[in-house]
Amino acid sequence: ASAGEKKRWTLSDFDIGKPLGRGKFGHVYLAREKRSNHIVALKVLFKSQLQQSQVEHQLRREVEIQSHLRHPNILRLYGYFYDQKRVYLILEYAAKCELYKELQKCKYFSERRAATYVASLARALIFCHGKHVIHRDIKPENLLIGAQGELKIADFGWSVHTFNRRRTMCGTLDYLPPEMVESVEHDASVDIWSLGVLCYEFLYGVPPFEAKEHSDTYRRIVQVDLKFPTKPIVSSAAKDLISQMLVKDSSQRLPLHKLLEHPWIVQNADPSG
Ligand SMILES: Cn1ncc2ncnc(NCCc3cnc(NC(=O)Nc4cccc(C(F)(F)F)c4)s3)c21
């Protein structure tokens, strides 16, 4: 098929390799497209589970949104196909795998590594917001690392175009900003809050509002109960940036383009990202 036409993929177009991970709706496998020898990740989703959870519309939206997003820090979704029982997502393969495993291994990142990741994420989110797409689910589990160590945002299963904003709650609350936890109107600034939570977790190894009970996390978020531990030692510039992002009033959060000019980012982020 020519570049323009949408090729109809089938499972027989791929050699399936090792499992890369397992999610709530299905597993991800390393795969090679036979004709081009192109290595991809193939996410296999069971239609029955998608139907049970009534998320088919979200999947359609993800495929639609992702097909227009081309950015070095956003994992490509090349296409999809389905058979009797399953839906298959053809994804860019991130050779250095999952960021959250790296964070668990290192416990927390150096300020240079954290700032480099935060700057890459900010550039990817500026790109998304420029296309009126908010991700809404920025968390370590949705971040992958490419072959050159570059960060890739994955899984736009919760992303929306900013004209429609409804969403049902699911998954961890840790990354949600007050306005989403309180289920009020929200906009692109939700991703700024989540990036602030992520920056804190990169530096301290735990998210800022973590608590044993859901209800305690909820209260700590809506009260913006932000505390900086004495260990590990973190620069005041980093704390200043986090404090400007974790602000209850979404209109007062540091805009992403201003984040890229913040002294902590300028002094610590590796420009190549
Ligand atoms: C682990 N791993 N290691 C290397 C590597 N390289 C690439 N990818 C990996 N993993 C897959 C990462 C994903 C990217 N996009 C996703 N998208 C999704 O999972 N969408 C999705 C699922 C179920 C339901 C819904 C719905 F309907 F709710 F919207 C949406 S998952 C890799």
pLDDT tens, position by position, for the chain (273 residues)? Answer: 455 556 789 999 999 999 998 877 889 999 999 999 999 999 999 999 999 988 888 888 889 888 888 999 999 999 999 999 999 999 999 998 789 999 999 999 999 999 999 999 999 999 998 888 887 788 898 899 999 999 999 977 666 666 444 444 456 788 888 887 776 666 788 999 999 999 999 999 999 999 999 999 999 999 999 999 999 999 999 999 999 999 999 999 999 999 999 999 999 999 876
Q: What sections of 110-254 are H helices per DSSP?
A: 111-130, 178-181, 189-204, 214-222, 236-245
- How many A from CA of 240 to the centre of ligand 1? 33
ipTM rounded to 2 decimals: 0.97
> In Å, what is the CA distance from 41 to each residue of 22, 27, 114, 156?
12, 10, 26, 15
Say what the pLDDT of residue 180 is.
78
Which residue from 61, 94, 66 is spatially nearest to 79, judged by alpha carbons? 66
Side-chain-facing half-sphere of 210: CA atoms under 13 Å: 11
Measured in residues, the chain has a length of 273
Give the H or E element holding residue 56.
Answer: helix 56-68
82's CB contacts (< 8 A; 6+ apart) are 47, 88
Say what the pLDDT of residue 108 is.
97
Which residue from 246, 46, 250 is spatially nearest to 162, judged by alpha carbons? 250
Query: 13, 137, 174, 270: which is the annotated catalytic residue?
Result: 137
Q: Does the beta carbon of 25 lie inside 6 Å of ligand 1?
A: yes
CA distance 1 to 232: 55
Taking the alpha carbons at both ends of the chain, their separation in whole angstroms is: 35
pTM (2 decimals)? 0.88
Say what the pLDDT of residue 138 is.
85
Say what the pLDDT of residue 167 is.
46
Neighbouring-strand partners of residue 27: 22
- How many A from CA of 141 to the centre of ligand 1? 10
Q: Does the beta carbon of 59 lie inside 6 Å of ligand 1?
A: yes
Say what the pLDDT of residue 162 is.
62
- How many A from CA of 91 to the centre of ligand 1? 8
Among protein residues, the one whose CA lies closest to atom 3 of ligand 1: 97
CA distance 38 to 8: 16
Has 137 been annotated as catalytic? yes
